[in-house]
C-alpha cells in the first residue's frame, strides 16, 4: 500500500474507531495526509494527535488543524532539552516556512544539521527557503539531500520543479519519473509532468486524471502547475489553473492569494480584492497578500487616462505632469513596433506608473530576475515613476521602450518565449531607438567578461532565474541584449523577428538558432564571444588598471588638483569610455574645467558624457546652460529634452528653461507642453507660469486657451500688469501678435 493510501486508510480508521486510532496514529502519516491535501478527511486524526502526551505529536496535530500558533508553541516545547530529535526542528522549520517565516525556518534547518549532518530532509528545507528567494542555492541543497538519501521522494520532486523553473525540461522529467518510481503516487511529480505537457502546449489531462484518482482534493497539484505557468509569463493560463486548484480544495488559501495576485497583474480589480481578502481573513498573510491588499487600497489615489490604444494609470499627484510625456511616447512606440514586428496588438495597452517604489515592488513580488524598473504582464505594464527613483538612476523613456517590446513579443509568441530572448530583445530595442540608451557594459559586466563568466546561450535563462553570483542578473541582461545586438549586426534585424516566429511555434533556443541562423548553439557561442572580445576585450583586460587610475583621479579632485585631473583624465577615460556612473571621468574633468573657467572644454567633455548615455540631470542641465550661453540653443533644447526622459518631476527650473528656449525657437507646441509641465510642478511664481503659457497659446493662434490661461494668471495675481495687457489685447477682436 502506498504512503498516501495507508494514511487514508488510517484516517478512515480514525473516524470509525477513535480510541484504537489514537494509539495507532503516526504523526508522519498524518503529515503525509496533510501534504496530500487530506486535511478535511483527517481532521479527526489531527484532533486526536493534539491530545497526545508527546509535544511533537501535538504540534503535528495542531498543524494539521491549521492552528498555527498552537503548533508553533508545541514545537518549541518538543525541541527543548538535549534529547530532542533533530527531525523535530526540521518539521518545525517546515511549519515556519509554510507560515512565511523563512529566516527562522532556515535557522532551524541549520540547527538540525549541526546535530545530525546526514539529515536529508533538512537540506530539502533549505532548498525550499532558497527557491523562495531565488538566491541561487536551491538546486545545490536539493542535490545534497539526494546524495544523502537517494530515495527521498520530495527531494526528487523539488529538483524536478527547480529544473522546470530553469526550463531544463529533460532534468525535470527525469527527476519527476525518479520520484514516481520510488512512490507510485508521488503527486507533485505528476503535477510536474502535467506542467511539462502544458508548457509544450500538449494536453496534461492524463496526469491530472492520475492525480485525481489518488486524491481528488489535492489542489496543490494545480497550484504547482499554475505557478510554473506564471513563471513562464502565461498569466491567463495560470489563472485558469489556480481556479482549478481552488475548485479541488476550496481551503487552499495560498492558491486564493496567488489567483488574486495574477488577476491584479492583468488589471482586474474586484475579484482580485475578493480573493486576497478571503486568503487574508483565513490567516494567509504572507507579504505578497498583505502588500497587494495595501496596493489595491492605494488605487483610489490613481486615475485612468484613456484613448483608443492606451490606458495610463497615474497617481493623481503627478498625472497632469506626466501624461503629456507618456501618452505621445507610447503612441510612437506602438507605431514603431507595429511596423517592426509586423503585427497589431489585440487591444489597448495599460501602463501603470508608481511614484512609490514599494507599490511597484508589490506588483513584481515573487517574480525572479524581473522588476528592476518595470515589468510586463500581458498587455499591462507596471513601472516606477521617475519620482520613485534618485534623479539620474532611471530613464522612463528607455524603460517604456523596453517593457513595450515585451508586450509585443509576448503577444506575438502567445507567451511562449524564453526569458533570455524577450529580455535580450527588449534591451536591444532600447539601443535601437537611441544609441545613448544602448546596453552599456557596467563594471560588473566587464568583470564577468574578464573572468569568462558569460553563459552558453542555451543556458542563459538560468542567469536570470537562479543566479550563481549576485551580479549575474545584471550581467545576464547585458549578455541577452548584446546577443541580440550581435544577431542583428551579423545576420540583420529580420533574423530577430524570424526567431520570434520560431519561438511562437515552440522552438527551443537550440532549434531557433540552428534553424534561423544556420549554425549550432556551440558555434554561435564561439562567434558571440569573439565578437564580445573585439568590443570589450581591451576594456575588460584593463579593468583593474582603470580602477586604480580612477581612484587616483578622484583623489586629485579631492585635493583640488584640477590641473592633474585634466592632464590625466583623458588617459583614464580611454581605458573605459562607457563608464558614466558614480565618480566618472567626464564629470571629474567637467568640474575641473568649471573651476578653471574653461567653458569651451567643459562643454566638450559634458557633450561626450551626454553622448555615451550619461544621465545626471544636474550635469546635463549645466551642459544645456553652457550650450545656450554659447549661442547654441538648438543643442540646449535637445539636451534638456533628454533630461525630460530622466527626471521631469520636481524641477520647475527645467520646464521653465526649456519652455523659454522652445518659445524663442517658435516651437509653440513644445513650449505649451513645457509651460503646462511647469504649472503642474506647482511653481513658486504660478502667475508668471500661467502668463507664459497664455503668451504661447496666443502666439500659436489658440486664442481661447490663451484667454483661459491669462484669466488663471490674473486669478492668481490680480494686479499682474503684463497679464492685464494681454487680456485687453485678446479682447480686441483683430488682435495679432508676432
Name the residue nearer to Zn ion (CB basis): 389 or 549.
389
Per CB under 5 A, 427 contacts Zn ion = no
What would the grid cell of residue 662 be? 522652445
Identity of the residue, 263 or 426, whose beta carbon is nearer to Zn ion in the bound complex: 426
Minimum distance from residue 406 beta carbon to Zn ion (Å): 6
Site for Zn ion contains 426 (CB under 5 A): yes
Q: Which is nearer to Zn ion, 426 or 661 (CB)?
A: 426
The three-class DSSP label of residue 448 is helix
Q: Residue 382 interacts with Zn ion (CB under 5 A)?
A: no
Task: Tell me how far apart the alpha carbons of residues 41 and 29 are, in angstroms, rounded to a whole number.
Answer: 13
Cα gap 504→519, rounded to integer Å = 20
| CA distance to 460, 542, 555, 559, per residue, from 588 (Å) | 37, 20, 11, 12
The window from 71-79, 423-431, 571-579, 580-588 that contacts Zn ion (CB under 5 A) reads 423-431
Min CB(45)–Zn ion separation in Å: 48
Residues 6+ apart with CB under 8 A from 634: 665
Query: Is residue 276 at the binding interface for Zn ion, with CB under 5 A as the rule?
Result: no
Alpha carbons 351 and 310: distance in angstroms, whole number: 8
Report d(CA 559, CA 584) in Å as an integer. 17
Beta carbon of residue 300, minimum distance to Zn ion (angstroms, whole number): 29
Asked whether the beta carbons of 481 and 405 are under 8 A apart, the reply is: no
What x/- string results for residues 294 through 333 when contact with Zn ion is judged by CB under 5 A?
----------------------------------------
* 8 Å CB contact between 728 and 691: no
| Distance of alpha carbon 551 from alpha carbon 555, whole angstroms | 6
Beta bridge partners of 351: 312, 381
Q: Choose between 426 and 623: whose C-beta lies nearer to Zn ion.
A: 426
DSSP-derived secondary structure for 522-566: HHHHHHHHHHHHHHHHHHHHTHHHHHHHHHHHHHHHHTT-HHHHH
# residues contacting Zn ion (CB under 5 A): 2
User: Reduced to 3 states, what is the DSSP secondary structure of residue 349?
Assistant: strand
Query: Which one, 230 or 423, has the nearer CB to Zn ion?
Result: 423
Work out how close the CB of 263 gets to Zn ion at its nearest, in angstroms, rounded to a whole number: 22
Residues in region 186-225 near Zn ion by CB under 5 A = none
Phi-psi region of 598 (alpha: psi -120 to 50; beta: other; left: phi over 0): beta
Residue 447 is inside which H or E element, if any? Answer: helix 443-450
- Closer residue to Zn ion in complex, CB, 14/445: 445
**Residue 664 C-beta: closest distance to Zn ion, Å:** 40
Residue 515 CB, shortest distance to Zn ion, in Å, is: 25
Candidates 129-137, 350-358, 420-428, 538-546; binding stretch for Zn ion (CB under 5 A) = 420-428
Name, in order, each residue with C-beta under 8 angstroms of 82's C-beta and a sequence gap of 6 or more. Answer: none
Compute the least distance from the CB of residue 103 to Zn ion, in Å: 29
In angstroms, give the least distance from the CB of 90 to Zn ion. Answer: 38
Q: Which of 503, 507, 567, 578 is nearest to 540 (CA)?
A: 578
Q: Write the burial class of residue 594 (CB in 10 Å: 0-12 exposed, 13-18 middle, 19+ buried).
A: middle
For Zn ion, the closer of residues 477 and 698 by Cβ is 477
Least distance from C-beta 432 to Zn ion, angstroms?
A: 15
Dist. CA 141–CA 138, nearest whole Å: 5
* Comparison of 323 and 422: residue with beta carbon closer to Zn ion: 422
| CB 381 to Zn ion: min, Å | 10
What distance lies between CA 260 and its chain's CA centroid? 18
For 23-53, give one letter per residue: b (16+ CB within 10 A) or e. eebebebbbbbbbbbbbebbbbbbbbbbebe
Please identify, using beta-carbon distances, which residue of 318 and 423 lies nearer to Zn ion: 423
CB count within 10 Å of CB 319 equals: 19
Rounded distance, CA 625 to CA 97, Å? Answer: 57
How far apart, in whole angstroms, are the C-alpha atoms of residue 71 and residue 57? 10
Binding part of the chain for Zn ion, among 46-54, 195-203, 326-334, 416-424 by CB under 5 A, reads: 416-424
Taking the C-alpha atoms of residue 77 and residue 83, their distance in angstroms, rounded to an integer, is 12
The minimum distance between CB 334 and Zn ion, in angstroms, equals: 17
20 or 372: whose CB is closer to Zn ion?
A: 372
Query: Which range touches Zn ion (CB under 5 A), out of 52-60, 222-230, 296-304, 419-427?
Result: 419-427
373 makes contact with Zn ion (CB under 5 A): no
Stretch that binds Zn ion, among 197-205, 300-308, 418-426, 461-469 (CB under 5 A): 418-426
Of the listed pieces 174-182, 255-263, 425-433, 489-497, which binds Zn ion according to CB under 5 A?
Answer: 425-433
Can you tell me which residue has the cell 486669478? 715
Work out how close the CB of 428 gets to Zn ion at its nearest, in angstroms, rounded to a whole number.
Answer: 11
Nearer to Zn ion, 48 or 426 (CB): 426
Q: Residue 480 or 713: which CB sits closer to Zn ion?
A: 480
Q: Does 499 bind Zn ion (CB under 5 A)?
A: no
Nearer to Zn ion, 31 or 401 (CB): 401
Nearer of residues 375 and 592 to Zn ion, judged by Cβ: 375
Q: Residue 241 Cβ, how far from Zn ion at the closest point, in Å?
A: 24
490: number of CA atoms within 13 Å, CB side? 16
Would you say 668 and 660 are in contact if contact means Cβ atoms under 8 Å apart? no
Residue 288 φ/ψ region, left for φ over 0, alpha for ψ in the -120 to 50 degree band, beta for the rest: alpha
Q: Provide the grid cell at 309.
A: 490604444
Nearer CB in complex with Zn ion: 3/419: 419
Stretches 269-277, 422-430, 457-465, 506-514: which one binds Zn ion (CB under 5 A)? 422-430
Gap between the Cα atoms of 534 and 545, Å rounded: 19
Report, in Å, the least distance between residue 430 CB and Zn ion.
10
Residue 132: closest CA among 395, 466, 582: 466
CA separation for the pair 91, 686 (Å, rounded):
65
Residue with Cβ nearer Zn ion (374 or 670): 374
- Nearest distance, CB of residue 426 and Zn ion, angstroms: 5
Judged by beta carbon, residue 108 or residue 487, the one nearer Zn ion is 487
CB of 476 to Zn ion, least distance (A): 11
Residue 588 · residue 557 · CB < 8 Å: yes
Least CB distance to Zn ion at residue 611 (A): 25
> What is the side-by-side order of every strand in the sheet holding 310-315?
302-306, 310-315, 349-354, 380-384, 374-377
Q: How far is the CB of 423 from Zn ion (least distance, A)?
A: 5
Nearest to Zn ion of 289, 422 (CB atom):
422
Residues at the interface with Zn ion (CB under 5 A): 423, 426
Amino acid at each position: 500500500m502506498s504512503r498516501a493510501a495507508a494514511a487514508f486508510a488510517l484516517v478512515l480508521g480514525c473516524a470509525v474507531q477513535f480510541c484504537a486510532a489514537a494509539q495507532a496514529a503516526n504523526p508522519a502519516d498524518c503529515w503525509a495526509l496533510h501534504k496530500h491535501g487530506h486535511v478535511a478527511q483527517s481532521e479527526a486524526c489531527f484532533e486526536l494527535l493534539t491530545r497526545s502526551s508527546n509535544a511533537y505529536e501535538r504540534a503535528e496535530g495542531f498543524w494539521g488543524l491549521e492552528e498555527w500558533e498552537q503548533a508553533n508553541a508545541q514545537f518549541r516545547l518538543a525541541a527543548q532539552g538535549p534529547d530532542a530529535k533533530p527531525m523535530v526542528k526540521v518539521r518545525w522549520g517546515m511549519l515556519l516556512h509554510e507560515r512565511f517565516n523563512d529566516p527562522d525556518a532556515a535557522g532551524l534547518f541549520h540547527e538540525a544539521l549541526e546535530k545530525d549532518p546526514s539529515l536529508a530532509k533538512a537540506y530539502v528545507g533549505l532548498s525550499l527557503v532558497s527557491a523562495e528567494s531565488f538566491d541561487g542555492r536551491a538546486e545545490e541543497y536539493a542535490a545534497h539531500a539526494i546524495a544523502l538519501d537517494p530515495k527521498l521522494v520530495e527531494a526528487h520532486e523539488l529538483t524536478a520543479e527547480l529544473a522546470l523553473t530553469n526550463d531544463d525540461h529533460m532534468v525535470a522529467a527525469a527527476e519527476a519519473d525518479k520520484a514516481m518510481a520510488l512512490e507510485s503516487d508521488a503527486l507533485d511529480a505528476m503535477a510536474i509532468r502535467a506542467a511539462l505537457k502544458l508548457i509544450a502546449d500538449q494536453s496534461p489531462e492524463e496526469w491530472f486524471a492520475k492525480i485525481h484518482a489518488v486524491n481528488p482534493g489535492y489542489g496543490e497539484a494545480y497550484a504547482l502547475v499554475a505557478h510554473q505557468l506564471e513563471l513562464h509569463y502565461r498569466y491567463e493560463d495560470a489563472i485558469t489553473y489556480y481556479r482549478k486548484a481552488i475548485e479541488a480544495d476550496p481551503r487552499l488559501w495560498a492558491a486564493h492569494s496567488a489567483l488574486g495576485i495574477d488577476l491584479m497583474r492583468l488589471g482586474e480589480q474586484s475579484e482580485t480584492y475578493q480573493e486576497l481578502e478571503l486568503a487574508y481573513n483565513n490567516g494567509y498573510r504572507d507579504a505578497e497578500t498583505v502588500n497587494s491588499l495595501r496596493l489595491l487600497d492605494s488605487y483610489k489615489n490613481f486615475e485612468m487616462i484613456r484613448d483608443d490604444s492606451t490606458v495610463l494609470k497615474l497617481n493623481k499627484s503627478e498625472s497632469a505632469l506626466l501624461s503629456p510625456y507618456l501618452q505621445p511616447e507610447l503612441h510612437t512606440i506602438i507605431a514603431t513596433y507595429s511596423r517592426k514586428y509586423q503585427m497589431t496588438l489585440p487591444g489597448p495597452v495599460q501602463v501603470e506608473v508608481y511614484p512609490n517604489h514599494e507599490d511597484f515592488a508589490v506588483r513584481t513580488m515573487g517574480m525572479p530576475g524581473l522588476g528592476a524598473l518595470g515589468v510586463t504582464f500581458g498587455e499591462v505594464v507596471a513601472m516606477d515613476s521617475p519620482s520613485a527613483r534618485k534623479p539620474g538612476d532611471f530613464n522612463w523613456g528607455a524603460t517604456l521602450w523596453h517593457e513595450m517590446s515585451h508586450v509585443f513579443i509576448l503577444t506575438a509568441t502567445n507567451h511562449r518565449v524564453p526569458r533570455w530572448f524577450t529580455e535580450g530583445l527588449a534591451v536591444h530595442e532600447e539601443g535601437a531607438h537611441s544609441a545613448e540608451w544602448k546596453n552599456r557594459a557596467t563594471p560588473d559586466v566587464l568583470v564577468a567578461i574578464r573572468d569568462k563568466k558569460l553563459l552558453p546561450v542555451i543556458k542563459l535563462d538560468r542567469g536570470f532565474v537562479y543566479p550563481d553570483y549576485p551580479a549575474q542578473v545584471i550581467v545576464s541582461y547585458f549578455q541577452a541584449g548584446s546577443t541580440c545586438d550581435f544577431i542583428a549586426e551579423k545576420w540583420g534585424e529580420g533574423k530577430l523577428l524570424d526567431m520570434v516566429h520560431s519561438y511562437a511555434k515552440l522552438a527551443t533556443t537550440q532549434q531557433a538558432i540552428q534553424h534561423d541562423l544556420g549554425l549550432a548553439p556551440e558555434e554561435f557561442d564561439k562567434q558571440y564571444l569573439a565578437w564580445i572580445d573585439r568590443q570589450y576585450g581591451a576594456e575588460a583586460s584593463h579593468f583593474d588598471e582603470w580602477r586604480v587610475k580612477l581612484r587616483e583621479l578622484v583623489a586629485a579632485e579631492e585635493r583640488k588638483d584640477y590641473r592633474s585631473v585634466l592632464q590625466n583624465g583623458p588617459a583614464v577615460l580611454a581605458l573605459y569610455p562607457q563608464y558614466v556612473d558614480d565618480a566618472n571621468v567626464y564629470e571629474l574633468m567637467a568640474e575641473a574645467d568649471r573651476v578653471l573657467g574653461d567653458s569651451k572644454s567643459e562643454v566638450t567633455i559634458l557633450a561626450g558624457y551626454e553622448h555615451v548615455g550619461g544621465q545626471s540631470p544636474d550635469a546635463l542641465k549645466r551642459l544645456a546652460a553652457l550650450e545656450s550661453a554659447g549661442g547654441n540653443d538648438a543643442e540646449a533644447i535637445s539636451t534638456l529634452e533628454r533630461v525630460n526622459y530622466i527626471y521631469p518631476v520636481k524641477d520647475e527650473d527645467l520646464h521653465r528653461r526649456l519652455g523659454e528656449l522652445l518659445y524663442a525657437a517658435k516651437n509653440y507646441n513644445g513650449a505649451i507642453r513645457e509651460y503646462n509641465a511647469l504649472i503642474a510642478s506647482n511653481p513658486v511664481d504660478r502667475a508668471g507660469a500661467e502668463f507664459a503659457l497664455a503668451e504661447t497659446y496666443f502666439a500659436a493662434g489658440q486664442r481661447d486657451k490663451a484667454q483661459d490661461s491669462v484669466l488663471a494668471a490674473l486669478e492668481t495675481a490680480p494686479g499682474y500688469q503684463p497679464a492685464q495687457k494681454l487680456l485687453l489685447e485678446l479682447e480686441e477682436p483683430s488682435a495679432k501678435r508676432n
